[in-house]
Chains A and B, each alone.
Chain A
Amino acid sequence: MSESGTSPKIQTTIETGDEDRRDAPLDARETVIETRDLDVYYGNEQALDGVSMEINEHDVTALIGPSGCGKSTFLRCINRMNDMIDVCRVEGDVEFAGKNVYDDDVDPVALRRKIGIVFQKPNPFPKSIRDNVAYGLKIQGYDGDVDERVEESLKRAALWDEVSGQLDSSGLELSGGQQQRLCIARAIAPDPEVILMDEPTSALDPVAASKIEDLIDDLAEEYTVIIVTHNMQQAARISDRTAVFLTGGQLVEYDDTAKIFEDPEEQRVEDYITGKFG
């Protein structure tokens, strides 16, 4: 599935001034997403600068970095959500399962059915809870048992016990944390392969956030999860692998989470993680 044609080793590309590249064996899992020299511009402003990284199947990959460093831009490039922005220009490759998603014959609609996304602010549709979860099934013309899928997705999003009696009430009546879990249920209902999460807990209180964190852990068993977060502890707790972006849209370091947090290669990364910078 993910024959990207590269070595099973994972490349860690460090784009520093002297451009040193090195290969480091990290894991034997298969690569599902690979970017090569990804540059993104908003008009004349460069948001990503030559980002190359490989993301493993069933990993939780955390993207951290200060505001404006391009981590959300990177996330949105993966399922082409940036297409909606007129001034956005993408150069370089983003390969999903060995196919460049920016090729002409790739339909972004089809791509997003494989790569779901959960946003920072919970955004349930002003529909019933059932219709929210069934949305993806409906637009994709799913002809199986919708109610069964809705129940299954809500259970997987750890929301079923709280809402099973009120599936017909509006999704907007739920609390913020429940709404976000509803959005996760909505994203997983059509059974995508990858779930992108753009700071999914930053609008939530700590209790609701910790529920989502537990959930992400479970989701990684079946899905590849890529999560943007501002919260260093969160990245350390839930992710297998962490990518650190710093200002200028550069990927500075990408490694096992434990390595990043305990013994980063780069001084800048250490400064950022320990709070000296950013």
Chain B
Amino acid sequence: MATEESTSDGLGRSTALRLQHLKGRLFEVALVAATLVGIVSLLALFAQISIDAFQPGSASPTWFLVYLGTLVAPTAAFTLYARRRPAVRETNAKAFAAVFGGLLLSFVTYAVVDSLSPYDVFTYVFFTSLPPAIVVAYDRTTDDRTFTGPAIPASIVVGLAVAALLYDVVRGPIGIAAEWIMYFGLVTVPAALLIGTLTASRRGRRSGVVAGGSVIVGGLAVAVASIVTGTNAAFPVVLFSAFVVPTGYVLWRSVRTDPEGRVGVAGPFVLLGGTLLGAAVVGQFGIQNPDTFLTPTLLLESWDGLRANNAGVYPQIVGSIIIVGFMAVLAFPVGIGAAIYLEEYAPDSGLRGRLATLLEINISNLAGVPSVVYGLLGLALFRRTLGFGTGIVFSAAGTLGLLILPIVIVSTQEALRAVPDALRQGSYGMGASRWQTLREVVLPEAIPGTLTGTILALARAIGETAPLVIIAVATTKYSPPSGLFSSATALPLQIFAASANAKPEFRHGVVPAAAVVLLILMLLMNATAIVIRNKYGREH
């Protein structure tokens, strides 16, 4: 309807329309404000923690100049160069993932295996991988493959049982071998098999055998070189097999397949080289470092409750990794399995359908139960009912596993629900059974979404403190857990304990530094999962 202000053709802006526009603008401004409030307060919090952790004010201006020259300027130059060249950028991203992923894998593998005893880990891994390997080998040679699929998980369980039974007999003879041989078996042999298989699938069997063989020979050479020079061969072997070999393979392949982006390979090395060069220059000229608590001491030493400069959280870092890793082993198969049942198998109607609906509602509710309550559940289940020791790794992982189980189930269900029904129908229409449809069509499609959910679950679990307090995990411990039934320790607990320390340098120095470590740990986990997810996303 035209008002008196409208132009004769009725297309001008009437008062009513102007008010409409104004309302729209105001709504938009309110939304922007809401967004900013959250982000800005988070940024302020992180800035506060980082400043406390790094203490940038205490460094000399020369220090900043040195790192500007060695690290910031080259990185910026490289980024500018890569920005216009998509091929370089893509290779750079790959190189980053490979280099830092490899480094991370090496450190985590070494730290975890070292604290759990390489001999024990080797014994169990050997016995649990041998039976499935035999099944796979049999599968290759026979035409009747009906039962080999289900036989693989069954054989793993059998292997685990055999390892537990024979542990006392086998552990003695294995203990005679040098430590590095365990790492060689745990890391170098799988790396060789992986590289061999990948090469064989691309360039034929012969090249595969040659590639795998050279990894083995390289690992042995590294071990011999370390022994000759008198250092412990264990870590060099791990670094070679889990960092040098996979990184070299990925970089070599990306350079070969995409020569245009080959400069991108340099990206991570610019960053690493700049940091090392800066540190060398600073050390050489005695330049004043920032008075930070984020030092190698913090990362590699154990706790000292009296002198802040001496306090380290290495046992807590390794403890957190072991707890979260074992938690993933416990919770993911159960959670994903439950989600698949509820989404793909459970009927919609009838008694069983109603039961399934009831289960689903309760699982959604469980996702919101406070973590303290899960702590009580863990205490009742693992300590009182099962009679496990106080605050051991198994209880901690089990409790956190129960905590994240609903999250895993719900997010996996969402991922499965997002797979279009047309694909299932298409598969059934081709004469596929339910299991074939699930394996060939539904699960591959649901993996990226499932991973997103498990990212969230991992990130939540690594920061959980309250349930660990309730099940009485030790706050301060001077060595990382040595097995699944030894007493656990976790980084957030140490942060919690240190925040009550009487000395201000703990509260204002060590606590933020450890918090940064915890955040980095969480971000690294997220990054790993995101890389895996993106890789899957691209392939499909």
**Residues of A near any B CB (own CB < 8 A):** 79, 81, 84, 86-87, 109-114, 116-117, 119, 121, 123-127, 135-136, 138-140, 143, 170, 183, 186-187, 190
Distance from B274 Cβ to chain A, minimum over Cβ atoms (Å): 40
Q: Cβ of B430 and Cβ of A186 under 8 Å apart?
A: yes
- 8 CB < 8 A contacts A-B: A86-B350, A112-B428, A119-B425, A125-B426, A125-B440, A135-B427, A139-B430, A139-B433
Additional 9 contacts, C-beta under 8 A, given A113-B431, A116-B431, A127-B540: A84-B428, A109-B431, A119-B429, A123-B423, A124-B426, A136-B430, A138-B440, A143-B143, A190-B431
Q: In the complex the two chains form, what is the Cα distance from A121 to B432 in whole Å?
A: 19
Residues A86 and B431 in contact in the complex (CB < 8 Å), given A119-B422, A123-B420: no
Q: Which residues of B contact A138 (CB under 8 A)?
A: 440
Do residues B432 and A126 form an inter-chain contact, with CB atoms below 8 A? no
* Closest CB in chain A relative to B520 CB, distance in Å: 35
Interface size on B, residues (CB 8 A): 25
Please determine whether A125 and B349 come into contact, CB atoms closer than 8 angstroms: no
A125 touches B429 (CB 8 A): no
Give, as a whole number of angstroms, the nearest-CB distance from B257 to chain A: 15
- Min CB distance B354 to A, Å, is 12
Which residues from chain B contact A114 at a C-beta distance below 8 Å? 431
* Distance (whole angstroms) from the CB of A86 to the closest CB of chain B: 5
Q: Is B333 an interface residue (CB 8 A)?
A: no
Residues on the B chain within 8 Å of A170, using CB: 540
CA distance A214 to B444 in the complex (A): 35
The reply to whether B353 and A84 form a contact with Cβ atoms under 8 Å apart is no
Give the contacting residue for B431; candidates A84, A112, A143; CB below 8 A.
A112
Give residues of chain B (415-458) contacting chain A, Cβ–Cβ below 8 Å: 420, 422-433, 436, 440-441, 444-445
Q: A22 CA to B424 CA in the complex, in Å?
A: 41
Nearest-neighbor residue (CB-CB) of B419 within chain A = A126
User: Are B347 and A123 within 8 A (Cβ)?
Assistant: no
**Are A187 and B430 closer than 8 Å at their CB atoms?**
yes
Contacting residue for A136 out of B423, B425, B431, CB 8 A: B431
Contact residues in A for B420 (Cβ distance below 8 Å): 123
Partner of B430 from A112, A121, A143 at Cβ < 8 Å: A112
Q: Which of B425, B428, B431 contacts A140 (CB 8 A)?
A: B431
Residues of A contacting B260 with CB < 8 Å? none
* 10 closest Cβ pairs, A-B complex: A113-B431, A123-B422, A117-B429, A112-B431, A123-B426, A136-B430, A139-B432, A86-B348, A126-B540, A139-B436
Asked if B425 contacts A86 (CB within 8 A), the reply is no
Please determine whether B430 and A190 come into contact, CB atoms closer than 8 angstroms.
yes
Bound Cα distance A170, B538 (Å):
11
Cβ-closest chain B residue relative to A120: B422
With most chain B CB atoms within 10 A of its CB, the pick from A110, A123, A170 is A123
Q: Which of B143, B350, B429 contacts A81 (CB 8 A)?
A: B429
Residue of B with least CB distance to A117: B429
List of B residues within 8 angstroms of A87 by Cβ: 348-349
A226 CA / B421 CA spacing, docked (Å): 23
Which residues on the B side are within 8 Å of A124 (C-beta)?
Answer: 426
Task: Answer whether A84 and B425 are a contact pair too, CB < 8 Å, given A126-B445, A126-B540, A138-B440.
Answer: yes
Q: Which B-chain residue is minimally distant from A83 (CB atoms)?
A: B428
Bound CA span A84–B349, Å: 12
* Cβ A109 vs Cβ B433 within 8 A: yes
Tell me whether B426 and A119 are in contact (CB under 8 A): yes
